[in-house]
Structure 1
Amino acid sequence: MNLVQHIAAPLFDPSGQGVRQFTELGIALLLSSLIGLERELQQKSAGLRTHTLVGVGSALFMEVSIHGFGAVAGLVGVRQDPSRVAAQIVSGIGFIGGGLIFVRRDAVRGLTTAATIWLTCALGMACGGGLPLLGAAATLVHFLVVRGFPVITRRMSMVPGDRVELHLSYRTRRGLLARILELCTKRGFRVTDVHIEPEQPADGRERGRAKEAGVVLSLEGKGPAYPLVEELTYWDGIIGVGLRAHQDAGD
């Protein structure tokens, strides 16, 4: 009975549950919410709620790991190792991250969101472990990578060897798509993906005649794609041509 009292007496001791611990949880809440809000605005599978819960939960696990076992600290034969809980957090977050990654038509998606969940877990652990400045720095790194890097890659999108997307709208039943693919190949581009949009009547009064369709070609090449766009502009039956940087499939 004395052993039970020895363990139970400090359970509601305010030490380890003071202003510092609540502040650390609050910082984790704020930082993880910022990352979650950015993901929510990008309409990703894991948004504001998921990232916030991951960040706050990781911080709470760290608080429990550091302050939650004071009652058994003085017992003979009992060893305290706060790093054990931290290691389990790192292992457990993999289940959430793995559930966000999926493959569709040889394209892997969700990698960036899974990595963001992993980072949010780490910043929550940093806040719970008494390192809020590191957590804030990790949050800044997130916005630098996710928001800043795409700007850099877009500016470099037309350098030789880069990947681009060719957006076309054309009149069907003229064999244009086959000629377009042949032209891309002749110009030294490799077509990695073809996405065709549903056909629509060119004119509401013309049923059964020429229709309009859209196609997105993902191209890889060693030279600029502007000459390709310029040539297609003069083709009969081509309604519109657009070119932009290849969209990252790992988001």
Structure 2
Amino acid sequence: MISFHGQGWLQLGELALAFILSALIGIEREIRQKSAGVRTYTLVGVAAALFMLVSKYGFDDVLRPQAVVLDPSRIAAQIVSGIGFIGGGVIFMRRDVVRGLTTAASVWLTAALGMACGAGMPLLAIATTFGHFAIMFGFPKIISRFRVNRKNDTVLRLVYEDGRGLLRTILLCCTQCRFTIEQVRLSSHHTKPSDPRPSSVTLYMQVKGKRPIARLIEKLGEIDGLWEVETTEDDGLE
């Protein structure tokens, strides 16, 4: 007679709960166009739940009282360390700005709620999912209310290719990101006729805005022909 211990409706229900909760988180991330979407999050949550179920029920046929003893918490510990590879894959750096930390943390959280489903703790998994949405939607509003209502001055140093009319594109990008431009100074660097590299322009500009300067630097870094973007001291404008 074939035994189906550990493969009943209870375990299927726990997998289904992990599927639904992790898919909800994935949909929220997909709508915000993050690097990891609904498929990644759903796979992480369901896989973590399945690992937990295997850890709980998968070795019953080899266990022998006082002969073979297994620690079911070992697989849970390996999930926690193994999920770091996926989380690390969505973190990247662009123009000295680190991106993807929130996505990596949410992948880690999805694995945790999948483990909770597989461990038979549905209330904790559901509460964790509600907590995720509270953090993603509620925290930005709370922070914006308590943020000091003042504009920060920052001096940016930009180096871009000459002769392509990029100055107008740069100024338009600053305006679209809701930064005002206080001061501007330009210096051209012409190359020798024998030098194959194109001439460049170094632009120092003082910008002022309420939003994080990292957001502006990221947007400027997407402009084709703009080679360097960095914050600097006020010396370039003096």
- Taking structure 1 as the reference length, the TM-score comes to 0.64
Instruction: Kindly state the Cα deviation for residue 81 of structure 1 after the two structures are TM-superposed.
Output: 0.9
Larger mean Cα displacement after TM superposition, 142-151 or 58-67:
142-151
- Residue matched to 2:113: 123
- Residue matched to 1:216: 174
Contact kept in structure 2, 1:25 and 1:128, CA below 8 Å: yes
Distance in structure 1 (CA, Å) of the matches to 2:72 and 2:25: 27
Matches within 5 A, 1:62-81: 62-74=52-64, 77-81=67-71
- Residue matched to 2:131: 141
Contact kept in structure 1, 2:153 and 2:208, CA below 8 Å: no
Gaps of 5+ in 2: 183-206, 216-238
Residue identity matched to 2:174? V
Matches within 5 A, 1:1-251: 12-74=2-64, 77-159=67-149, 189-191=153-155, 199=165, 213-216=171-174, 245-246=211-212
- Residue matched to 2:194: none
What percent of counterpart residues are identical?
Answer: 50
Instruction: Kindly state the Cα deviation for residue 15 of structure 1 after the two structures are TM-superposed.
Output: 1.4
Distance in structure 2 (CA, Å) of the matches to 1:114 and 1:76: 42
Residue identity matched to 1:105? R
Distance in structure 1 (CA, Å) of the matches to 2:168 and 2:90: 39
1:201-220 residue CA offsets vs partner (Å, 9 max, x unmatched): xxxxxxxxx96741429xxx
Gaps of 5+ in 1: 1-8, 165-187, 201-209, 218-224, 233-240
Larger mean Cα displacement after TM superposition, 129-138 or 148-157:
148-157
Query: Using a 3 Å threshold, how does the CA distance of structure 1 residues 141 and 195 change in structure 2: closer, same or farther?
Result: farther
Q: Which has the larger radius of gyration?
A: 1
Query: Using a 3 Å threshold, how does the CA distance of structure 1 residues 131 and 195 change in structure 2: closer, same or farther?
Result: farther
Contact kept in structure 2, 1:194 and 1:216, CA below 8 Å: no
Contact kept in structure 1, 2:48 and 2:115, CA below 8 Å: yes
1:25-54 residue CA offsets vs partner (Å, 9 max, x unmatched): 010001000000000000001010000000
Helix, strand or coil for the counterpart of 1:103?
strand
Distance in structure 1 (CA, Å) of the matches to 2:159 and 2:20: 40
Distance in structure 1 (CA, Å) of the matches to 2:214 and 2:115: 29
Query: Using a 3 Å threshold, how does the CA distance of structure 1 residues 195 and 48 change in structure 2: closer, same or farther?
Result: farther
- Residue matched to 1:207: none
Distance in structure 1 (CA, Å) of the matches to 2:34 and 2:104: 10
Distance in structure 1 (CA, Å) of the matches to 2:141 and 2:43: 29
Helix, strand or coil for the counterpart of 1:72?
coil
Distance in structure 2 (CA, Å) of the matches to 1:193 and 1:34: 42
- Residue matched to 1:176: none
Query: Using a 3 Å threshold, how does the CA distance of structure 1 residues 98 and 36 change in structure 2: closer, same or farther?
Result: same
Distance in structure 1 (CA, Å) of the matches to 2:93 and 2:17: 35
Instruction: Kindly state the Cα deviation for residue 153 of structure 1 after the two structures are TM-superposed.
Output: 2.0
- Residue matched to 2:231: none
Query: Using a 3 Å threshold, how does the CA distance of structure 1 residues 47 and 94 change in structure 2: closer, same or farther?
Result: same
1:62-121 residue CA offsets vs partner (Å, 9 max, x unmatched): 000001110012265311211011111111101000111111111100000000000000
Distance in structure 2 (CA, Å) of the matches to 1:155 and 1:131: 35
Residue identity matched to 1:43? Q
Helix, strand or coil for the counterpart of 2:93?
strand
Contact kept in structure 1, 2:83 and 2:111, CA below 8 Å: yes
Instruction: Kindly state the Cα deviation for residue 190 of structure 1 after the two structures are TM-superposed.
Output: 3.2
